[in-house]
Chain A
Amino acid sequence: MKARVHVMLKDGVLDPQGQAVAHALGALGFEGVGDVRQGKVIDLELHETDTEAARAKVREMCEKLLANTVIERYDIEIG
């Protein structure tokens, strides 16, 4: 079973990298770009076959390592 974790900075946490990307897009002539936020995608291959058990396990991984919940939030996709 595959799982995909999206890790993003929480709303309200300033994202200097996202701002730099927004600035660079503007410099390239792309107009109409508002806020840009940059995050991470982590793909996991799991031996687990039960969707809910997999989700619970990945949630624990996020809380313990994959995300720093002081500044980041995460979303989990299973399958």
Chain B
Amino acid sequence: MKAAVLVFPGSNCDRDLAVAFRAAGAEVTMVWHKEDALPAGVDVVGIPGGFSFGDYLRCGAIAARSPITRAVIEHTHRGGFALGICNGFQVLTETGILPGALMRNAGLKFVCKPVDLIVETGDSAFTSGYEAGQRITIPVAHHDGNYVGDADLVARLSGEDRIAFRYADNPNGSVADIAGILSENRRVLGLMPHPERAAEPAHGGTDGAALFRSLIGALTPA
């Protein structure tokens, strides 16, 4: 099972993400943003957290127009898997792979702390290691995590069971307490919290590990 982790200037969670993928059993290749193709046979693309291009213009906006991102869009159109965490989620909304947008936190502060999430659906490769309704603790670290979408979009996400995680106590003002959403084919997940920062005991919590285990497990031939 092969994973690619994208690296943009300003990415800072790329290595943590690679460690979490490897710990779950994936073979990981780091891919610089100027590449215009993904390594052959990649099953899942990880778009890491950080501050790609210094958050200039809008968070994720310039990364979303990088050469490698065009390859990621094609990968997802072919039904490939992708996981965008924090800045990676912002990149996914900027490309249009995931709907909606991420705005400045309602409280204007950079929020950096462990938060409780409610797993809203177990019906995806990313969340099948959890029970729907399960409460887990995962750290957030962002300034622009305030998910916005109009009422129609929120109703659609909810009706199609595409809200993967909600905040138990909303830290950023996001609509409907949304912390992470799935694409229509359920193969792309974008979320603001950092499961790779809660993946081994030394992190102070391991609630994020099941995400990587279930994803890698689903993509590894039996």
Interface residues of A (CB under 8 A from B): 13-14, 16-17, 20, 64-66, 68, 70-71
Contacts and interface: CB of A to CB of B under 8 A. Distances in A.
A20 B105 CA distance: 12
A16 B65 contact: no
Contacts of A14: 103, 106, 148, 173
A65 B65 contact: yes
Nearest to B96: A70
B148 A16 contact: no
Given A16-B106, A16-B173, A68-B101, 18 more contacts: A14-B148, A14-B173, A16-B103, A16-B104, A16-B105, A16-B107, A17-B108, A20-B108, A65-B57, A65-B62, A66-B57, A68-B94, A70-B93, A70-B99, A70-B100, A70-B148, A71-B103, A71-B148
A21 B72 CA distance: 38
B48 to A, nearest CB: 21
A68 B148 contact: no
Contacts of B75: none
Interface of B: 57-58, 61-62, 65, 93-94, 99-101, 103-108, 146, 148, 173
A16 B61 contact: no
B108 A16 contact: yes
Contacts of A65: 57, 61-62, 65
A63 B162 CA distance: 27
Q: What secondary structure prevails in chain A residues at the interface with B?
A: helix
A14 B61 CA distance: 20
Contacts of B105: 16
Nearest to B60: A68
B58 A68 contact: yes
A14 B103 CA distance: 9
Nearest to B100: A70
A65 B104 CA distance: 18
Nearest to B106: A16
B185 to A, nearest CB: 20
Contacts of A17: 104, 108
Contacts of A64: 65
A65 B58 CA distance: 9
A4 to B, nearest CB: 16
21 contacts: A13-B148, A14-B103, A14-B173, A16-B103, A16-B104, A16-B105, A16-B108, A16-B173, A17-B108, A20-B108, A64-B65, A65-B61, A65-B62, A65-B65, A66-B57, A68-B58, A68-B101, A70-B100, A70-B101, A70-B148, A71-B103
Contacts of A20: 108
Nearest to A42: B57
